[in-house]
Chains A and B, each alone.
Chain A
Amino acid sequence: MSIGVQLLACFCAALAFSVLMNQPRSTVPVSALIAVAGYGLFILLGQGVTAYFLATILIGLSCEICARLMKRTATLFFTGAIVPLVPGVGLYNTMRYVVEGQYAKAVSTGVITILAICGIALAVTITSVLFSSFTSRKKKPC
């Protein structure tokens, strides 16, 4: 499958997932586009742990910016945008190796999967800290 088809599939999948999460209508296409951008960067960077981190940074920043432009909370965009990066393949392969008795492979795949999740979590941390300290300098309407 070419990258174009993959990215198109990524867009459709994120769109369907956003509907599944009952996202407000106006945010659905935006978060699907952010998902495509993030997944595109992820493929471009070679799908390693660093790629998870950097792609999530891109997604987090775009979500925060869109949240401010559209006056919604960033979580609304983020839920649909991050889902293509969820390491489903790693989880499945870890279990397959466990079942097949290839424990060395299972451990290495499992560790990489956990690191990927940590990379995503770290990126979420960094972007939300960045934006919350950035906005708290302005006066909040409360």
Chain B
Amino acid sequence: MDALTITLDAVCLASRIILENGGETYRAEETVERMCHGLKVPQVDVLALPTGLMLTLETDEGNTITRIVRVRNRTINLDRIDRCNDISRHVAEGKMNAEDALKELKSIQQMKPIGQWGMVPASALSAAFFTVMLGGTWLDFAVSFVCGAVVQLVMPPLSRHRVPTLISSMLAGAQVTLLALLGTLVFANVHVEPIIAGAIMPLLPGLATTNAVRDTLRGDLVSGGARIIEAILCAVMLAAGIGLMLSMWGGVGL
């Protein structure tokens, strides 16, 4: 592989990691520009979108090379973004060459997230403590704990089977509501409001909303608009799931 291919691979991978793990699009663009600056690429143009990235490099001989990166799976993993930022900073300052950067970035991509058995308790505890924060009792805490755990058990298989995110948000909303309502059958004095509100708080698209605002501010109107729509649809589908389950429960007449 010649040096230019390695450079291209490294910058593409860096921006891919940022876009796939919940980074802003301007961060992906800035990363490419800074890394190319550090690697002495004379000219680079990049356009990042939430769903993909296009970049063109110009070589010393005046040839241009273009590459398109398609981003399909988007999750949130802030640790990867943080590490990727470190590498791009090192490259930009000229402390790291393209080959080492590519190696490091590959290891970031293979880095395991905390894993299912760490995610389930984290999700359960955050749902449960949000319930208490919103004025729930310790009994509500227990019910909400179950809601949060079950959501985290159900969501990863759904995304593995490529169920669209919007459908899985609706299912999550419905599922939280169902479990909270079942809780009222089992225990006499369970408060539905703090349980459902607490359990959906980790599911609402907070990061997508703030990213949307930041992208729009930077003048990335396409990315900003796309992210705003994504956030709105996600919240609406979650609400639809809750409403559907509440009305079905009311219709059954329990």
Residues of A at under 8 Å CB distance from B?
A: 1, 5-7, 9-10, 12-14, 16-17, 19-24, 27, 39, 72-73, 75-76, 78-79, 82-84, 86, 88-89, 91-96, 98-100, 117, 120-121, 124-125, 128-129, 141-142
Contacts and interface: CB of A to CB of B under 8 A. Distances in A.
Given A83-B206, A129-B217, A141 B123 contact: no
B85 interface: yes
Given A13-B133, A16-B126, 8 more contacts: A1-B135, A12-B125, A12-B129, A73-B81, A83-B202, A92-B197, A124-B213, A142-B92
B6 interface: no
B133 to A, nearest CB: 4
Given A76-B82, A92-B193, A117 B114 contact: no
Contact of B130 (A9, A22, A125): A9
Interface stretch (B48-56, B57-65, B72-80): B72-80
Given A10-B129, A16-B122, A128 B79 contact: no
Contacts of A141: 89, 92-93
Nearest to B236: A91
Contact of A22 (B27, B80, B89, B92): B80
Contacts of A142: 33-34, 37-38, 92
Contacts of A9: 129-130, 132-133
A125 B194 CA distance: 30
| Residue of A9, A79, A93 most packed against chain B (CB within 10 A) | A9
Contacts, number: 157
Contacts of A78: 210
Nearest to B201: A88
B125 A76 contact: no
Interface in B216-254: 217, 235, 238-239, 242-243, 246-247, 250
Interface of B: 23-24, 27, 33-34, 37-38, 76-83, 85, 89, 92-93, 113-114, 118-119, 121-123, 125-130, 132-137, 193-194, 196-198, 200-202, 204, 206-207, 209-211, 213-214, 217, 235, 238-239, 242-243, 246-247, 250
For the complex of A and B, list the 8 residue pairs with the smallest distance between their C-beta atoms, beginning with the closest: A13-B129, A16-B126, A9-B132, A16-B125, A88-B197, A88-B201, A89-B197, A9-B133
A125 B250 contact: no
Contacts of A91: 197, 200, 204, 235, 238-239, 242
A48 B250 CA distance: 31
B130 A84 contact: yes
A22 B206 contact: no
10 contacts: A1-B137, A13-B127, A16-B125, A21-B77, A75-B81, A79-B207, A89-B134, A91-B204, A141-B89, A141-B92
A100 B119 CA distance: 35
Nearest to A19: B122
B85 to A, nearest CB: 6
